Chain A
Amino acid sequence: MAIIPHEKSSCGGLTLHKIQTEKYKTTTVVMQFKSRLSEETVTKRALLPYVLQSGTENYPSSKALRTELEKLYGATLGVDLAKKGDFHIMTFRMDFANEKFLSEDKPLLKKALGLFADVVMNPKKVDGAFDSSIVDKEKRTLKQRIQSIYDDKMRYSNMRLTQEMFPNEPFGLHVYGIKEQIDQIDANNLYEYYEKVCNEDEIDLYFVGDLDEISIKDLVTDLFPLKERTEASSAITEKAPLEVKEREVQEEQEIKQGKLHMGFRSGVSYADDDYYALQVFNGMFGGFSHSKLFRNVREKESLAYYAASRYESHKGLIIVMSGIEFKNYNKTVDIIKEQLTAMQNGDFNDEEMNQTKTMIRNQLLETVDDAKGMVELLYHGVVSQKLRSLEEWLDGIDAVTTEDVKRVADQVKLDTVYFLKGEGAE
């Protein structure tokens, strides 16, 4: 049996994914809306899911909606935004108890899904548009959400690094949108955009849980009457090109710890055969506690509490992050660069390789113990248009050789070094 028992089918305007498992005490539903990131739509997209979860025709306020969710044994409803490669993803999630664990036997799925569909498909309307009092409230909240990125220095530094690396490209945009555009949005133009989303976005709907007895497809056809997409999406993410000149950007704020964020380009993305080697490279470079960054920056030199690297699967980036004293900037940057050189020179042994492969295997298997993690893993396949079974993935990691890792490491180019430091720090 497959590790992820995944059944996929087309269902009107969306793709339905069913994952049958008895592991969980709840059922999880995840709906993903995918469209290209663009300056014209980024802010509307950042606002839309929050407006939708604030009231439907049947439950016209957030309070009414939340009351209903509580009655369903505290079903949870959440929305989220993500950037995956060149795409801006809106996510709607619901999770509700499986009644077989409750001292009551009314089936919850039908009711919960009805409510979920109500949120996505049947928003509260006034004169053929959204309710402007809801839109206004959510505009205010969105402004605050954008402002508060500044308050979390790690997130802020990440955002700034991405902006500096992709100054004139959609990928440089933040998923929360552009603050200056918020005032131009109103109940009418947002509703128009919502209709466009319903007709044109690529939509995937996932069910994870003990679903055997239920005819999900009929329910979904009934509750989500979406038009079939006119053209199959063929868009994929454009990888960040490798010709770059190294840049350094420094900023000052009144803070106590410097945030060092370094952006690299790898030229490898999810759909590539070298993706496995990239994962192994990243694991050895800065992905785990046995990695070169952790051992050298933290354990050997005591420069930082955290020093890690992570990769962006679609654009082909590697981001290194570390929190350091201002005065240790040059030293830390040098050590990090040396670790990359070491990787390029093949300065790692079989033990490190095997340890890394084992840890990646572990990570992948652990991810699918969690319903959300499972959906996340499968959705990478949608975004990159390359569906990879978990078995294939595990085998791919296993087959990576020293040469593969060196080849990937050789390609990795430093793009931008971003440093957020204290005011007046040298």
Chain B
Amino acid sequence: MMRTIPFNQLQETLYHQTMDNGLDVYVLPKKGFNKTYATFTTKYGSVDNHFVPLNGSEDVKVPDGIAHFLEHKLFEKEDRDVFQDFSKQGASSNAFTSFTRTAYLFSTTQNVMQNLETLVDFVQAPYFSDESVEKEKGIIGQEIEMYNDNSDWRAYFGVIENMFHKHPVKIDIAGTVESIAKITKESLYTCYETFYHPSNMVLFVVGNVNPEEIMSFVESNQAAKSYKDQPPIERFFDKESQRVAEKKKVLPMSVQVAKCLVGFKEPNPGRQGRDLLKHELSINLALDLMFGQSSENYETLYNEGLIDQSFSYDFTEEENFGFSVVGSNTSSPDELAERLYSMVEEFSKNPIDEDQLERIRKKKIGSFLRALNSPEFIANQFTRYRFNDMDLFEVVPVLEELTAKDVESAVKGHFKEESFTVCQVVPK
């Protein structure tokens, strides 16, 4: 049965239905938009490299980069390339792989139902051949090299790599030229069959659409496919120490301006649902208070020439890992690292100013409203939240109820000396 979930203050209504095979479908109608945007996402990303295959009895480890490789290969069928099907129907399609998700998507201003059918059907009908797997290695090899030359990407992955001893989040999403060389047709099928069952997936449609029409289409589309119920997927992650694996890394590259990123590894991940939402929002509020453009710290660092407009910060947490990253292009990477650390330390020692918290809370609510202008944001973030048992539309209520005490205790739990690390890119 289709459920209707209204959000009165936001003047939005969300529609939800769980299909018999376990597929969750959500529709958010957006009046006045030309575009319809749809994502079909599996809860399967680069970190899921150790698991028990469907119908298997023993756990397996698969090559680094295979989730991303699979994403590329799903577009290719025996007789055609699905990119072309979409573009003939006036849609542009794409896909991406993150640490924890693989999403297939299209956006279009016409033939919505036909494109939706293409999306659901192509993801649910894999075709891998030895020849096409080999051919893809050249393309992905160039994708990997492109990122290897990208100093921002290298700094970001460098700081994550520093944090973790064993957790696969430390591995580049696309893998390496060496690791993808080991990928075979068979290993792709193993991953596909384990992780692409409808009960592990979410379909989200946002745009100028009719929810009933979409639900009934998906219902009959899925009913015509013979999925057997699948037991919960067993995934394995080694226990991580709270301590970071490496305190500092310096990467000499062909750049003129140095970069310095500092990171804090979340010492106690494992939260889900409202707990995770509260924690994530608390740390993000704290980062705004510490380093936002209205903060004293930002003013000081900028005035002293230690940061420029590239300065940024973010915290993210998933089921079994989390981290915050802060940093900028800088003329003095060592000094910046030290200063950032001592600013965090100082902040954690003091109580939070209620007036400032109130202001940042308002800012966050405004940013959330702004984000709702974007169909892409809604579909992608809603799905990410859903996979962590959180509800995107709870963001404003949770922001409104967070107290200074909540933020203080989240800060004390997250920012620790042993969870701190630095990665710098410096001119060669």
Task: Quote the shortest CB–CB distance from A55 to chain B (angstroms).
Answer: 11
Binds B, one of A33-41, A73-81, A162-170, A408-416: A73-81
Counting CB contacts under 8 A, is A344 at the interface?
Answer: no
Contacting residues of chain B (342-362) with chain A, CB-CB under 8 angstroms: 359-360, 362
- Bound-state CA distance A214–B359 (Å) is 27
> Which chain A positions have C-beta within 8 A of B83?
289-290
Q: Is the CB of B372 within 8 A of A25?
A: yes
> Which residue of chain A has the shortest Cβ distance to B360 in the bound complex?
A70
> Which chain A positions have C-beta within 8 A of B255?
148, 150-151
Counting CB contacts under 8 A, is B35 at the interface?
Answer: yes
> 0/1 per residue, B242-260, Cβ < 8 Å to A?
0000000000011111000
Q: Is the CB of B359 within 8 A of A323?
A: no
Q: Is the CB of B369 within 8 A of A26?
A: yes
> Which chain B positions have C-beta within 8 A of A24?
373
Counting CB contacts under 8 A, is B392 at the interface?
Answer: no
Q: Is the CB of A362 within 8 A of B256?
A: no
- Bound-state CA distance A61–B292 (Å) is 14
> Which chain B positions have C-beta within 8 A of A365?
34-35, 109
Counting CB contacts under 8 A, is B381 at the interface?
Answer: no
Binds A, one of B20-28, B38-46, B298-306: B298-306
> Which chain A positions have C-beta within 8 A of B394?
none
Binds B, one of A7-15, A250-258, A265-273, A333-341: A250-258
Counting CB contacts under 8 A, is B55 at the interface?
Answer: no
> Which chain A positions have C-beta within 8 A of B295?
63
Contacting residues of chain A (319-343) with chain B, CB-CB under 8 angstroms: 323-325
> Which chain A positions have C-beta within 8 A of B31?
22-23
Task: Quote the shortest CB–CB distance from B137 to chain A (angstroms).
Answer: 8
A-B contact number at CB 8 A: 193
Q: Is the CB of B135 within 8 A of A66?
A: no
Counting CB contacts under 8 A, is B151 at the interface?
Answer: yes
Known: A63-B293, A304-B142, A362-B110. A299 touches B81 (CB 8 A): yes
Q: Is the CB of B88 within 8 A of A355?
A: yes
Counting CB contacts under 8 A, is B1 at the interface?
Answer: no
Q: Is the CB of A369 within 8 A of B35?
A: yes
> 0/1 per residue, A250-287, Cβ < 8 Å to B?
00011111000000000000000000000000000000
Task: Quote the shortest CB–CB distance from A185 to chain B (angstroms).
Answer: 17
Which of B139, B148, B254 makes the CB contact (< 8 A) with A302? B139
> Which chain B positions have C-beta within 8 A of A255?
149, 254
> Which chain A positions have C-beta within 8 A of B108?
362
> Which chain A positions have C-beta within 8 A of B331?
144
Q: Is the CB of B364 within 8 A of A74?
A: yes
Q: Is the CB of B256 within 8 A of A148?
A: yes
> Which chain A positions have C-beta within 8 A of B10?
25, 101
Counting CB contacts under 8 A, is B107 at the interface?
Answer: yes
Q: A25-B372, A62-B299, A151-B254 are in contact. List 17 more A-B contacts (CB 8 A).
A: A22-B32, A26-B366, A63-B295, A67-B359, A74-B367, A98-B369, A140-B305, A148-B256, A148-B329, A151-B253, A254-B254, A302-B138, A304-B139, A325-B145, A359-B87, A359-B92, A369-B33
Interface CB pairs A-B, < 8 A, 6: A22-B32, A23-B32, A70-B359, A73-B363, A148-B257, A323-B142
| Residues on A facing B (Cβ under 8 Å) | 3, 21-26, 61-63, 66-67, 69-76, 95-98, 100-103, 137, 140-141, 144-145, 147-148, 150-153, 253-257, 288-290, 298-299, 302-306, 323-325, 351, 355, 358-359, 361-363, 365-366, 368-371
The 3 tightest CB contacts between A and B, nearest first, are A302-B138, A74-B363, A73-B366
